A and B are shown apart, each in its own frame.
Chain A
């Protein structure tokens, strides 16, 4: 680990004031950041400890939604009665991720900012455009079984590893931040993440020193079914090969609402309005499900080891839609 200086903040305002070096990073749970610092993939020159900021509450919103403090631990969020009752997809997605120990420490804000688990990003002996822009991508022609098939670029085929963020995307979450100039900003999760393009080292729209303080969830869709399905290489404690978070409602024999987000397929938690358009207004039939899968996988491309993800995503989507729209 490279040396760094350390400051502990007691308020969000104090935290952003402490951002005063070239590579200051906030640390909350630290479960991903410290892991990467040990490997010198992350080399901050200063850590600002935000773990004790008063951002650990879940509060009711007037519209029937919830405001989640950025420091609510993943375990507590998954176990919260209001989350279980209104946002089951979020609770299940959280429980699908990591281990009990990690969920106890990992924060809601930090979970959104997890870095990819691409082997070459972790291996400082290999070229990686995300770790060192311009050095090349070792995953092309390399071990890419766990990597992306949608939204990739010639510079990067990494996936976003979070389960939680996939559910947040299906739930239309809004991320609230405090910028270095003291202004608050509201960012829809749909605008938060970036595709790799030719700048795979830029993963989201946060500015340097911008602090996530809260995540807002709008009121849940009444009468809809929520779910999180995850396909992985072992039964527990493994990242998704394919995952689907969703909110689906069937009324009078037709799908009246569908919000579907996908993990394990892209550089960001993936959501495509065409997938949902293929379902809404239709009867829940195999033909409609196939049309949704066609929309999802239009333009999908495998890179050898991960070719299997394309048919796996189709089958997982079909099976999930069949299960949640059936009796």
Chain B
């Protein structure tokens, strides 16, 4: 089997049951993506597949051989951080750091969804959603942080999204 991860081609012959997460961590030495719950509940395994964020723990590696996969290692390196990585550092968007690779991959995928006009549950107008702190919280709800660094995570994402303080505090009526 073969994969394209972070622009590099890999070959391996793992068991057919291997998830994309276990492939990366156990077979290819890409240990940035983390295994938290292994059931799609915590988001620490989040990767970008063809630019879209997914739970790699709920994905079979064999099904993603023709995809462009990006892990935290592919977003940036210690001497050349992705803007989202730099923002997490400057806002202290973590404590223990275990959920951080998933948070960052998820945040990058999420901002791309906003750019494409994807609405969220808290969007008042589904046809033209705009980002604010409430939207960031809703859109990032698939990433848990046991250290509860949430306020700083939201700060980091809001900075990368270029939101002003006023924009961040715009509150919308939660539909229901």
Which stretch, B5-13, B35-43, B72-80, B89-97, touches the partner chain A? B35-43
- In the complex, are the beta carbons of A100 and B53 less than 8 A apart? yes
- Residue pair B63, A91 in contact (C-beta under 8 Å): no
Query: Would you give the shortest CB distance from A114 to chain B, in whole angstroms?
Result: 13
Asked if B121 and A100 sit within 8 Å, CB to CB, the answer is no
Which residues between 60 and 93 of chain A lie within 8 Å of chain B, taking CB atoms?
75, 78-79, 81, 84-85, 88, 91-92
B159 is an interface residue with CB less than 8 A from chain A: no
A98 within 8 A of B: yes
State which residues 16-51 of B face A: CB under 8 Å: 16-17, 19, 38-40, 43, 46
B167 at the interface (CB under 8 A from A): no
**Which single member of B46, B63, B121, B127 contacts A236 (CB below 8 Å)?**
B121
Q: Does B59 contact A (CB under 8 A)?
A: yes
**B58: contacting residue among A8, A79, A105, A229, CB under 8 A:** A105
Interface of A is mostly: mixed
* Smallest CB gap from B134: residue in A: A235
Would you call A153 an interface residue if the criterion is a C-beta within 8 Å of the partner chain's C-beta atoms? no
Provide the residues of chain A in CB contact with B38, threshold 8 Å.
Answer: 38
B111 CB to closest chain A CB, in angstroms? Answer: 11
CB < 8 Å neighbour of A92 from B66, B109, B121, B140: B121
Q: Which residues of A contact B123 (CB under 8 A)?
A: 95
Interface size class of A (residues with CB under 8 A): 35 or more
Evaluate whether A101 and B127 lie within 8 angstroms (CB atoms) in the complex, with A236-B121, A237-B142 already known: no
Residue pairs across A and B with CB atoms within 8 Å: the count is 109
Contact string, B146-176, partner A, CB cutoff 8 A, digits 1/0? Answer: 0000000000000000000000000000011
- CB closest residue in chain B, given A81: B127
Whole-angstrom CA separation of A96 from B38 in the bound complex: 22
Do residues B54 and A101 form an inter-chain contact, with CB atoms below 8 A? yes
Interface membership of B82, Cβ < 8 A: no
**Cβ contacts A20-47/B at 8 Å (1 or 0 each):** 0000000100110011001000000001
Asked if B106 CB lies within 8 Å of chain A CBs, one says yes
Of chain B, the residue at the smallest CB distance from A33 is B58
A35 B58 Cβ-Cβ under 8 A: yes
- Complex CA distance for A34 and B113, rounded to whole angstroms: 25
- Residue on A nearest B19 in the bound complex, by CB: A34
Min CB gap A211→B, angstroms: 17
Decide if A78 touches B118 in the complex (CB within 8 Å): yes
Kindly state whether residue B117 has any CB partner on chain A within 8 Å: yes
A99 to B63, Cβ gap below 8 A? no
Q: Are B118 and A75 in contact (CB under 8 A)?
A: yes
The A141-186 residues at the B interface (CB cut-off 8 A) are: none
Asked whether A30 and B43 contact (CB < 8 A) given A81-B127, A84-B126, A100-B110, the answer is no
Least Cβ distance of A258 to chain B in Å?
18
B83 within 8 A of A: no
Residues of A close to B39: CB separation below 8 A: 35, 38
B55, CB-defined interface residue at 8 Å: yes
Asked if A105 and B59 make an inter-chain contact with CB atoms under 8 angstroms apart, the answer reads yes
Give A84 Cβ to nearest chain B Cβ, in Å: 5
A-B contacts besides A3-B16, A91-B126, A105-B54, 17 pairs, CB < 8 Å: A4-B17, A5-B16, A6-B62, A8-B63, A27-B63, A30-B58, A30-B59, A75-B113, A88-B126, A92-B126, A95-B121, A99-B141, A99-B142, A101-B53, A101-B54, A101-B142, A237-B142
A-B contact pairs, 16 of them (CB 8 A): A5-B16, A31-B55, A34-B19, A34-B59, A51-B63, A75-B113, A79-B117, A79-B118, A81-B127, A91-B119, A100-B141, A101-B46, A104-B54, A228-B176, A230-B176, A236-B138
Residues of B within 8 A of A (CB): 16-17, 19, 38-40, 43, 46, 52-55, 58-60, 62-63, 66, 106, 109-110, 113, 116-121, 123, 126-127, 137-143, 175-176
